[in-house]
Structure 1
């Protein structure tokens, strides 16, 4: 079983590409269990914890999906999560922390518990969308969730994956390419 989380829409966006990709992926792959998280500081992590606790057994892997910008059309595997919230826009309940620790007294940063560089190497030029290593999950909810997950020292590997901001006008083919790339990431992560 692979646990996949994605985020609901936020700001003025009508959809969240991570949510759409996760739901489409789950419809194609019976190993995938999806939980959609609210774009709310603190609550996203609590909802993820509750969903994990409700699983019949620990997952083999947790892939946390979040939406990056529209360009470039790249899937980014995040190597680092930092202990820092610095929201440039408010979450869906209006919180906009600036220069705030995620976990008071926690380490400054954690590395992903998956070997993201190896995954990228295995997938080089083999996926519909390029897959790259990123050294910054930002300072919004994506990084917030990744930091909490790594701080919890869960007994299974996890990594945060930023996906391009898919929109309905991009069409099904673009969504299919994203899902095919995520499926390849999963397979490479399990090697």
Structure 2
């Protein structure tokens, strides 16, 4: 709830979008704090083009195939980004997927794999204002939840190995967010100096 920090009226209940069933998903949560506003975090997540050049260790062959307003899909919701991207597992081993980015709330971005390996998997990125630090600079908590699913026969074994896999999943998220929080913090500094609109 953001009654005081965000000065917003509370909703009756948390807004939760469609997720894979927890009983059949491999889950992990990463949390970090940046010196920026939630809008800087959301701007980062809604800039799919930065993935390939800012995170070459994780993404290759990224193409934005649809941007908001370019089409009206069967579900009627054209307010999304759709990207074709390959996730780098090791040096030359990559997994191509199609992913959809939406913003179901003002401080939440959801990436859902819609085609390819792990279809139905979801990554939720939440940005929550924490109020100013002792120097008056804004601080934002980033909480990212990964809910991975797969119809491969070996996936139930991966779920049984979840206690060993979660630290690796958190480390991978932390590596990405180290760069992404630097992006968000730089955007906040530029805006504070009047060099960036906002």
TM-score bucket (shorter structure): under 0.3
Higher share of residues assigned helix:
1
Higher share of residues assigned strand:
2
- TM superposition score normalised by structure 2: 0.24
- TM superposition score normalised by structure 1: 0.24
Higher RCO, Cα 8 Å, sep 6+ = 1
